[in-house]
Amino acid sequence: MNLLEMQDVHTHILGFHILEGVSFTIPPGKLGVLLGRNGAGKSTTMKTIMGLTPATSGRILFKGQPIQAMRDFDIPRLGISLVPEGRDVFSNLTVEGNLLIAVRNGKRIKKERLDYIQAIFPPIKELFKKKGRNLSGGEKQMVAVARALVNEDKLLLIDEPTKGLAPIIIESMRLALAEIKKNTTILLVEQNFEFSTSIADDYLIMEHGKIVHTGKIEEIKENTEIQSKYLGV
Amino acid sequence: MLSSQLLVNLTINALSVGMLYFLLTSGFSLVFGLLRVSNFSHGSLIMWGAYMGVYFVKALSSFSLALIVSAVMVGIMLALIEVFLIRRLYGHGAELFQVLLTFGLIYILDEIVKVIWGPATIPVQKPAFAQGSVIIYGEPFAVYRIYILGIGAVVSAAIYLLLNKTKIGLIIRAGIENKDMVRALGININRVFTFVCWVGGFLAGLSGGVLAYFTGLSPEMGINQLLTVLVIVVVGGLGSILGSAIAAILVALGEAFLGFFLPELAILSLFIVMFIVLSIKPSGLLGEE
């Protein structure tokens, strides 16, 4: 069974038809990357899965269960985490507060989860008492991903994790995601083609609110025609 | 010439009035901070706290218990208002409707008070323990004002602990900044809104219960306090609890010292403080630009 399945999903925002029948599947244990130009509907797809911009029609199945009509705050409780495009680290909270607020059961982060996060992002412990507003772009991205790892979720939605980051930070993010994908299924939105192809298993290309191509990531690496037609690479 | 004794007396009196102003304002600030709803019926909730507080003092024969019971009930009133009315008006573009709703509530809440307790002003006698005065640094100081300082300190500490040492406080501070992200973490922010409204109503009710022993009871007391509340909230910076606390003390000090040195300007002190602060920082003391 697929972990996530979108079936002809349409989403309207303020009267605009943003998703025009999105259909795709994400099998468990895979990292799928959603590619496409600006405005194609990639981030809206993420938000629609999370219920933040609810689908107006179609079905979204998580572990076979329809979730498109669920309340937005119930969806993460199924085991789905979002790392949004703007990172949305709470600037008034410390890094520790940013992680604690994500804990769904209990008041503390479970020791094994904290150890796991620290193994993936060793510098994070040093930042625990630092306020979100005082973090660099790379540190914010690290905290945003770490926050999504606090619970043992099955699906991670990560929106443009490399945006605005220096190459050295992008490389450490690539290593972190490579580690995370060993235990968690990931749907990634990314404009950085090299980064995407270095880490993903499957690709999905969006244009004008629809999926227009899907396949194994190896297939697109050499396909310059698709790259130039849909991605401007 | 201002003697050191008089200086101490003016300052302590101003601090107690400032604490009262903070109590009156903190609920409004808390609710605005998270919900971004200007609850203009806050003054009327203060008035309900005053009437119910005095009523429960008679019924329960315990001043502090009566204040708490009336504050809890006013908290429930605002929580119900949030669930059944304000919740329908969240989001961009609904600000005018929020203003209309909360202004409309002023008329409803004030008229109900008139129906139950009558339109006349009712003098209120301070409880026995709060009567009289004590000598501090050679000057008499009303016991009730010390009581207010005590309540103000307890409430300030409670708000600080709530916001900084609890999970719900973490959620409130995060929600003030980014409600969508809080939802995306699997948190039912509507419940948090309702809880914050309960706390805001509790603070309004508590401050009303305290205020009643300063001003007596009248159906106009809420609307009379609303202006003070709004000025302090603006001076402190919209939605900042700490800003409101500092602004409340600043306004009270301004009133006390202007009233002493330039008595003819005392009535304008509220606006003089606002003018000075907003001229320097238009977003208020701790408000975001």
Name the domain count of chain A: 1
Task: Out of B177, B178, B187, name the one closest to residue A73 (CB).
Answer: B187
| Beta-carbon separation of A73 and B176 below 8 A | no
pLDDT, mean over chain B: 92
Per-residue pLDDT of A48-98, as tens digits, reads: 999 999 999 999 999 999 999 999 999 999 999 999 998 899 999 999 999
Task: Classify residue A97: in a domain, yes or no.
Answer: no
**Residue B205 pLDDT class (50, 70, 90 cuts):** very high
What mean pLDDT is predicted for residues B271-283? Answer: 93
* Minimum distance, in Å, between the CA of residue B186 and any CA atom of chain A: 4
Range of the domain at B92: 23-219
Q: What is the pLDDT of residue B152?
A: 92
Per-position DSSP letters for A64-106, written without gaps between them: TEE-TTS-TTTSGGGTEEEE-TT----TTSBHHHHHHTT--SS
In a domain, A61, yes or no: yes
Q: How far is A68 from chain B, CA to nearest CA, in Å? A: 14
Supply the Cα-derived Rg of chain B in whole angstroms.
19
Report the predicted TM-score, pTM, of the whole model to 2 decimal places.
0.86
Q: Is A131 among the domain residues?
A: no
DSSP A9-20: EEEEETTEEEEE
Structure confidence at residue B289 (pLDDT): 66
> Does a structural domain hold residue A36?
yes
CA gap A174, A177 in Å, rounded: 5
CB contact under 8 A, A84 and B187: no
Task: Identify the pLDDT of residue A54.
Answer: 95
CB B37 within 8 A of CB B31: yes
Q: Is A120 contained in some domain? A: no
Instruction: Give the pLDDT confidence score for residue A5 in this predicted structure.
Output: 97
- With respect to residue B62, please indicate whether it lies within any of the assigned structural domains: yes
Q: How far apart are the first and last CA of chain B?
A: 41
In Å, what is the CA distance from B255 to each residue of A16, A83, A88, B2? 54, 50, 42, 16
Q: Is residue A135 part of a domain?
A: no
Does a structural domain hold residue B277? no
Site from B92, B165, B176, B183 to mutate, A interface, most A CB atoms within 10 angstroms: B183
Q: Which of A33, A22, A26 is nearest to A231 (CA)?
A: A33
User: B289 CB near a chain A CB, below 8 Å?
Assistant: no
Q: For residue B186, which residues of chain A lie inside 8 Å, CB to CB?
A: 73-77, 104
pLDDT at position B1: 63
What pLDDT shows up at residue B126?
Answer: 87
**For range B216-233, the mean pLDDT:** 93
Mutation pick from A49, A88, A158 vs chain B, by most beta carbons of B within 10 Å, is A88
Kindly state whether residue A123 falls inside one of the protein's structural domains. no
Residues B286, A47: Cα–Cα separation, whole Å: 33
Strands A155-159 and A185-189, bridge-based pairing: parallel
- Please name the residue of chain B whose CA is at the shortest distance from the CA of residue A106: B167
Q: Which of residues 16-75 of B touch A (CB under 8 A)?
A: none
* Closest to A78 measured CA to CA, from A147, A6, A185, A154: A154
- Look at residue B155 in the predicted model and tell me its pLDDT: 93
Strands A185-189 and A31-35: parallel
Rounded to an integer, the average pLDDT of B146-166 is 92
Structural domains counted in chain B: 1
Residue A59, domain member (yes or no): yes
Rounded distance between C-alpha atoms, residue A209 and residue A214, angstroms: 14
Query: What residues make up the domain containing A19?
Result: 4-87+145-231
Under 8 Å between Cβ of B66 and B243: no
pLDDT at A227: 79
Spatial separation of the C-alpha atoms in residues B104 and B98, rounded to whole Å: 10
Q: Which of B177, B181, B184 sits opposite A92 (nearest CB)?
A: B177
Q: How confident is the model at residue B31 (pLDDT cuts 50, 70, 90)?
A: very high
A133 touches chain B (CB under 8 A): no
Q: Amino acid letter at B165?
A: K
For chain A, the first-to-last Cα distance in angstroms comes to 34
State the amino acid at position B188 in one-letter form: N
Query: Choosing among A101, A147, A152, which should be mutated to test the B contact, i.e. which has the most B CBs within 10 A?
Result: A101
Please report the pLDDT score of residue A17 as a whole number: 96
Low-confidence ranges of chain A (pLDDT < 70): 233
Q: Which range has the top average pLDDT, B68-82, B121-135, B240-254?
A: B68-82
Residues of B in contact with A102 (CB under 8 A): 185
Q: Which CATH number covers residue A68?
A: 3.40.50.300
